[in-house]
Chain A
Amino acid sequence: MVRLVATDPFDGALPARVGGVELTASPVEGAVLIAPHRGAEAKVGAILQKSRGLPFPGPGETARAGAARILWAGPDRALLIGADLPEGVTEHAAVTDQGDGIAALTIAGPRVEAVLARLVPIDLRPTAFPQGRTARTLVGHMTASVTRTGEEAFEIMVMRSMAGSLLADLREAAERVDARP
């Protein structure tokens, strides 16, 4: 009988501290993408609310209820993380497993905004991008999901295959910021 051992996208490289910021893996195992069928957003939202205490998020929004959370992930789609898919959702939405396709980490530290300013082209000032806000944008050359998870913390998701490039880009940016006179 065979046994399969899971490996994480960062291949054990996290947690790490680079140039004054902390990088920690963010578990997204079992995450599913929910894309409601035409006109079914309200129904999906109602099911989520009832069974998981989560809304179907609008553009740029996230919500959290205990260990469960949901992120806007593009027009009319959201990523459900840390919770089983409630019954009935598949009747009203296209659901795909995505947890394995994502490399996610949290980057935190006093200079986190300065580090991300080297890679992310959007306005991440707290006034424009407060805690809980999410965006589909770029990190360097990579398409990414960026979410503010704290005053000095962000979660970044990229394609799993690019995990190494994400670490390399963050390391380079953090080291340059740290070395500034």
Chain B
Amino acid sequence: MRVAGKGLNAGGREVRFRFDGAEVVGREGDTVAAALLANDIRLVGRSFKYHRPRGIVTAGSEEPNALVRVGAGIGAGVGALPNVRATVQEVFDGLEVESQNRWPSLARDFLAVNDLAAPFLSAGFYYKTFMWPRRFWEGLYEPLIRRAAGLGALSGAADDEHNEKAFAFCDLLVIGAGPAGLMAALTAARAGADVILADEGAQMGGRLLAETLEVGGGAGHAWAAGVLAELSALPNVRLMTRTTVTGAYDHGSYGALERVALHLPPGGAAPRECFWRIQAGAAVLAAGALERGIAFADNDRPGIMMASAVRAYLNRWGVAPGRAVTVLGNNDDAHRTALDLAAAGVTVAGLIDTRPEGALGPIGAVSGAFPVFTSGRVVATGGRLGLETVSVEHAGGSRVIRSDCLAVSGGWNPTVHLTCHMNGRPEWREDIAAFVPRPGAVPGLIAAGAANGVFSTHGCLAEGRRAAREALAALGRTAPEVDLPEAEDAPCRVAPLWVMPGKGRKWLDFQNDVTVKDVEQAAAENFRSVEHMKRYTTQGMAPDQGKNSNVAALAVLADATGREIAQTGVTTFRPPYSPVSIAAMGAGGRGMGFAPHRLTTSHGAALERGAPMIEAGLWYRASYFPRPGEATWREACDREVAMVRGAVGVCDVSTLGKIDVQGPDAGEFLDFVYANTMSTLPVGKVRYGLMLREDGHVMDDGTCARLGERQFVVTTTTAAAGLVMRHLEVVAQVLRPGMDVQIASVTEQWAQFSVAGPKARDLVNAMLDEGVSDATMPYMGCGAISLAGVAGRLFRISFSGEHAYEIAVPARYGAALWRLLVAQAEALGGGAYGMEALNVLRIEKGFITHAEIDGRATAFDIGMARMVSAKKDCIGKAASLRPGLMEEERPQLVGLRPVDPGAEIGAGAHLFARGADAVRVNAQGHVTSAGYSPTLSSWLGLGFLARGRARHGEVVRLVDHLRGRDVLCEVCDPVFFDPEGGRLRG
């Protein structure tokens, strides 16, 4: 219920949203949890395993129970987010919230039957029960268990919301904007440092927003507001609210998740979340501390909450989570809850302190507004869907208290998580019964305030200033004088108590339904290491990563194994601190944002002609150019092949890698990277070249043109352009640093078009300012040209087996030249051709691509062993001479012609001896490329066959298990068409 006059958002307007279909009226500034509690809704979810009724436990991101599904149009399921913490989600008009893990409704959950079976479902149950029969696991047990257990479900629909990733840089990152964080940020900001202050809350101030404590003689939240006003006016400070720093990584980098628009109605253009990578010169961890519970019988009923959360709901949101609140604590801090409630006029049914009377701090004793039970133990609780009674044994006897809210404090755990992200382990401090960060565990990260085990407000302020000064010193900056405002400085007085006596299940981990007994059983079954206990019981897993339960669970384990807590240690805290949606981490990685699109200069013209595109690496290349009346790609492809063989075709080959190699040692350098010799190439000539990897296998092939005495242009395949460029850089910088050679990629500078066919020269000469002839431009010649006054390059090379040229012009003229070439080709009875025709043309000629040189082939395998020059060394030469790489038994490149020319064959098929069974042990090779040759009116294939070169003329069995083909093929030379190469030179 709301408490009149309380809450920092007391003046906020009404906000209407829905919870499980029913309208709920909240207040601007509320979290869903605050609004639900204001409306006396205590039951908000069902537990993971036993489907126990559960309510709100905390007021922060550590919430284990109140996980809900949120979104607009939840019924449709699109865009709804599961497992959202009701304690984090802010309310807005039209927000829809749904409880999870229940059917058909929250109050009547069919699977609550699991709870009755609880005696059989203890820790290790799955491991022991579902062992046999083994094949039942995937098909039966796992789906059943997953259905029964688990958290919220995703909609399955594609996410059409926006998300973002971003980078930020600062001198000092301050994590947490409570008293310590604000003081640290203020100190560093006044020193002129670039400061990022990040806080996971919607409003900065940390516990100052949740307490009635004074700072500097006024309300704590007012002091916070004053500091924030100063900070936000400074140009060197960036305030990041709703931003959780989720991980600490190497060299001062941090991951952070910002909830940008999750507090607003969905569908806007703003990103839902932003995942930040923050690079900080230094960082202050002022993340505060998390209150921990105490295990007692049936301590999971809705209405049983953390004492600090009850204070937060009261003081920040003006909400009393119960009408008669009982407070249970083992420390002085719990007394604040009772005092704040009583001061606000809320009935306090009792304050149960576990300590004997003499051990109580000064605060509780002064009250008198409510009964105080010392040496108190809660032995039972009652209430089916929510707390109704608390049974307590205390110094004066025993008692059943009628109460609908029990505020529990078992002490505070400093939020040490980030300090452990680089394998650091926290240290146990007996005096405050808590783990604190080990200094220097993450280089450059300084813990301060409650995160460092200092809990008083004064202590936190002082710690923040101290940490900022240390950070500034490390950054080489002078710290200014900053006065500390006055604040309370109560000592931390806590008497550790983890488990209370009494019958019934005592819950440790609410999110994973782990009890004290489960942990004890793990110890009894010798899972004594805390890491083993975690995995055996699942304590500390799942979205909350055991923030509420870790320390209590290991305390129970320590007790069960007869060790100290310090010896037992904690499990490893890993990033992220709190859940990060994959959508945020992968933001931008869909549609156009998945990878850059590389478009050729002829792209637009190709699209105009209806050419479908095929992806080649990042490039988009025209597959074929359909003409009216052509129903299939094959018709277009056959026509384009015939066009090239009969007239002239034009193809955009700009995507092939072009690498400029210059320098006095360029020839020698190329001799080292190519298997064959390039230094002897005359100026104005082109040579085919083969590059090997260090291991002797073929890396890439292509041409090398000598443009000048000290200048070569290497071409690579489209696929290997980046690879070869990198390889050449490595050779130049690392393997042959003494050579004077400069390498530059010029792939993008030149638009390059292949002009191929018997009429190729006619077409080229129609374009050039000065025509060429066999004498001026023989086969494998190259040189500078002028085309409409534009300086270009001409190479007489062919990948089709026809008389062919490649014309290169600066890319800005590519689009224009393409249109001219295609128009002229059409006038000559030819036209544009695409990748499909290019592939058929090269298969007819037995030219290889990366389908053949797939990383496993050697020069020997492809029949080019003699290209590895005997006169010089080259990369991969020594390895290529190993006996294993030169054996006749190896699969060798062959041509394959179906005995029935109309029998279709495809790449990926396996080769067997005729008559042999088509089973793996009999496989003798495989098909790498195949296509229909309109020139030879037959299907043709290239492939690798054991001893293939010696088997020309033999008939083998080609079996394509995937496509259900079984075809007899004749083995032949890979060059099917014009083996003498007369057409090339013609």
Could you list which residues of chain A lie within 8 angstroms of chain B, going by C-beta atoms? 1-9, 11, 29, 33, 35-38, 77, 93-94, 96-102, 117-118, 120-125, 127-128, 140-142, 159-166, 168-169, 172-173, 175-176, 178-181
Q: Which of chain B's residues 262-295 have a Cβ closer than 8 Å to chain A?
A: 264, 268-271, 277, 279
Q: Which residues of A contact B749 (CB under 8 A)?
A: 96-101
A76 to chain B, nearest CB (A): 8
Q: Which of B194, B270, B604, B748 contacts A101 (CB 8 A)?
A: B748
The answer to whether B788 and A38 have CB atoms under 8 Å apart is: no
Given contacts A101-B748, A101-B749, A140-B588, contact A179 B596 (CB under 8 A): no
Contact of B597 with A by CB under 8 A: yes
The answer to whether A118 and B593 have CB atoms under 8 Å apart is: no
The answer to whether B593 and A101 have CB atoms under 8 Å apart is: no
Q: Which residues of B contact A172 (CB under 8 A)?
A: 588, 592-593
Between-chain CB contacts (< 8 Å), 12 pairs: A94-B663, A100-B748, A101-B746, A101-B811, A120-B167, A121-B277, A162-B598, A172-B588, A173-B164, A178-B269, A180-B271, A181-B270
State the CA gap A177–B815 with chains docked (Å).
35
The answer to whether A161 and B270 have CB atoms under 8 Å apart is: no
State the CA gap A36–B601 with chains docked (Å).
31
A78 to chain B, nearest CB (A): 12
Q: Which residues of A contact B788 (CB under 8 A)?
A: 1-4
The answer to whether B162 and A165 have CB atoms under 8 Å apart is: no
State the CA gap A100–B194 with chains docked (Å).
40
Q: Which of A97, A125, A162, A179 contacts B270 (CB 8 A)?
A: A179
Contact of B260 with A by CB under 8 A: yes
Could you list which residues of chain B lie within 8 angstroms of chain A, going by C-beta atoms? 162, 164-169, 194, 260-261, 264, 268-271, 277, 279, 588, 592-593, 595-601, 604, 618-619, 660, 662-664, 711, 740, 742, 744-750, 766-767, 787-790, 809-817, 820
The answer to whether A176 and B813 have CB atoms under 8 Å apart is: no
Q: Which residues of A contact B811 (CB under 8 A)?
A: 9, 100-101, 160
Q: Which residues of A contact B268 (CB under 8 A)?
A: 179
State the CA gap A172–B271 with chains docked (Å).
10
Q: Quick one: closest B residue to A171, CB to CB? A: B592
Q: Quick one: closest A residue to B269, CB to CB? A: A179
Q: Which of A5, A9, A159 contacts B816 (CB 8 A)?
A: A5
Q: Which residues of B contact A161 (CB under 8 A)?
A: 598-600, 619, 748
Q: Quick one: closest B residue to A142, CB to CB? A: B596
Given contacts A4-B817, A140-B593, A165-B596, contact A117 B767 (CB under 8 A): no
The answer to whether B601 and A7 have CB atoms under 8 Å apart is: yes
State the CA gap A172–B660 with chains docked (Å).
35
B571 to chain A, nearest CB (A): 32
Q: Quick one: closest A residue to B601, CB to CB? A: A7
The answer to whether B167 and A165 have CB atoms under 8 Å apart is: no
Q: Which residues of B contact A124 (CB under 8 A)?
A: 169
State the CA gap A133–B955 with chains docked (Å).
67
Q: Which residues of A contact B787 (CB under 8 A)?
A: 2, 4
State the CA gap A93–B162 with chains docked (Å).
48
The answer to whether B744 and A35 have CB atoms under 8 Å apart is: yes
Q: Which residues of A contact B809 (CB under 8 A)?
A: 4
State the CA gap A168–B597 with chains docked (Å).
10
The answer to whether A125 and B194 have CB atoms under 8 Å apart is: yes
Q: Quick one: closest A residue to B738, CB to CB? A: A38
The answer to whether B194 and A37 have CB atoms under 8 Å apart is: no
Main SS class of interface, B: mixed
State the CA gap A123–B269 with chains docked (Å).
26
State the CA gap A179–B660 with chains docked (Å).
45
The answer to whether A6 and B596 have CB atoms under 8 Å apart is: no
Contacts A3-B816, A8-B812 known; 19 new A-B pairs at CB < 8 A = A4-B788, A5-B813, A7-B812, A29-B812, A94-B662, A94-B742, A96-B744, A96-B746, A97-B749, A99-B749, A101-B745, A117-B166, A125-B194, A161-B599, A165-B596, A165-B597, A169-B593, A176-B269, A181-B260
Q: Which of B165, B618, B711, B747 contacts A118 (CB 8 A)?
A: B165
A90 to chain B, nearest CB (A): 9
Given contacts A6-B813, A161-B600, contact A94 B660 (CB under 8 A): yes
State the CA gap A37–B813 with chains docked (Å).
31
State the CA gap A123–B740 with chains docked (Å).
34
Q: Which residues of B contact A5 (CB under 8 A)?
A: 813, 816
B972 to chain A, nearest CB (A): 39
Q: Which residues of B contact A98 (CB under 8 A)?
A: 744, 746, 749
The answer to whether A97 and B588 have CB atoms under 8 Å apart is: no
Q: Which residues of A contact B814 (CB under 8 A)?
A: 7
Q: Which residues of A contact B596 (CB under 8 A)?
A: 140-142, 162, 165-166
A152 to chain B, nearest CB (A): 14
State the CA gap A8–B595 with chains docked (Å).
22
Q: Which residues of B contact A141 (CB under 8 A)?
A: 595-596
State the CA gap A121–B748 with chains docked (Å).
24
Q: Quick one: closest A residue to B263, CB to CB? A: A181
Q: Which residues of B contact A121 (CB under 8 A)?
A: 167, 277
4 A-B pairs with least C-beta separation: A101-B748, A94-B662, A94-B742, A179-B269
A72 to chain B, nearest CB (A): 15
Q: Which residues of A contact B592 (CB under 8 A)?
A: 165, 168-169, 172
B75 to chain A, nearest CB (A): 27
A15 to chain B, nearest CB (A): 18
Q: Which residues of A contact B711 (CB under 8 A)?
A: 94
The answer to whether A180 and B260 have CB atoms under 8 Å apart is: yes
State the CA gap A178–B268 with chains docked (Å).
12
Q: Which residues of A contact B745 (CB under 8 A)?
A: 101
State the CA gap A115–B202 with chains docked (Å).
24
Q: Which residues of B contact A140 (CB under 8 A)?
A: 588, 593, 596
The answer to whether A175 and B820 have CB atoms under 8 Å apart is: no
Q: Which residues of B contact A175 (CB under 8 A)?
A: 269
Q: Which residues of A contact B817 (CB under 8 A)?
A: 4
The answer to whether A6 and B744 have CB atoms under 8 Å apart is: no
A98 to chain B, nearest CB (A): 6
State the CA gap A36–B744 with chains docked (Å).
12
State the CA gap A142–B722 with chains docked (Å).
13
B120 to chain A, nearest CB (A): 51
Q: Which of B167, B618, B747 contacts A117 (CB 8 A)?
A: B167
State the CA gap A152–B888 with chains docked (Å).
67
Q: Quick one: closest B residue to A163, CB to CB? A: B599
B175 to chain A, nearest CB (A): 19
The answer to whether A37 and B816 have CB atoms under 8 Å apart is: no
A112 to chain B, nearest CB (A): 14
Q: Which of A100, A118, A123 contacts B810 (CB 8 A)?
A: A100
B265 to chain A, nearest CB (A): 11
B29 to chain A, nearest CB (A): 15
The answer to whether A7 and B816 have CB atoms under 8 Å apart is: yes
Residue from A4, A9, A98, A175 with most neighbouring chain B CB atoms (10 Å): A4
The answer to whether A77 and B744 have CB atoms under 8 Å apart is: yes
Q: Which residues of B contact A77 (CB under 8 A)?
A: 742, 744
Q: Which residues of B contact A1 (CB under 8 A)?
A: 788
B749 to chain A, nearest CB (A): 4
A167 to chain B, nearest CB (A): 10
The answer to whether B169 and A37 have CB atoms under 8 Å apart is: no
Q: Which of B167, B597, B744 contacts A33 (CB 8 A)?
A: B744
State the CA gap A99–B820 with chains docked (Å).
23
Q: Which residues of A contact B277 (CB under 8 A)?
A: 121
A174 to chain B, nearest CB (A): 11
The answer to whether A101 and B747 have CB atoms under 8 Å apart is: yes
Q: Quick one: closest A residue to B171, CB to CB? A: A127
Q: Which of B167, B748, B767 contacts A2 (CB 8 A)?
A: B767
Q: Which residues of A contact B271 (CB under 8 A)?
A: 176, 179-180
The answer to whether A4 and B816 have CB atoms under 8 Å apart is: yes
Q: Which residues of A contact B660 (CB under 8 A)?
A: 94, 96
Given contacts A118-B164, A120-B167, contact A164 B810 (CB under 8 A): no
State the CA gap A177–B597 with chains docked (Å).
23
Q: Quick one: closest B residue to A95, CB to CB? A: B662
The answer to whether B264 and A4 have CB atoms under 8 Å apart is: no
Q: Quick one: closest A residue to B820, CB to CB? A: A2
The answer to whether A164 and B599 have CB atoms under 8 Å apart is: yes
The answer to whether A4 and B740 have CB atoms under 8 Å apart is: no
Q: Which residues of B contact A169 (CB under 8 A)?
A: 588, 592-593
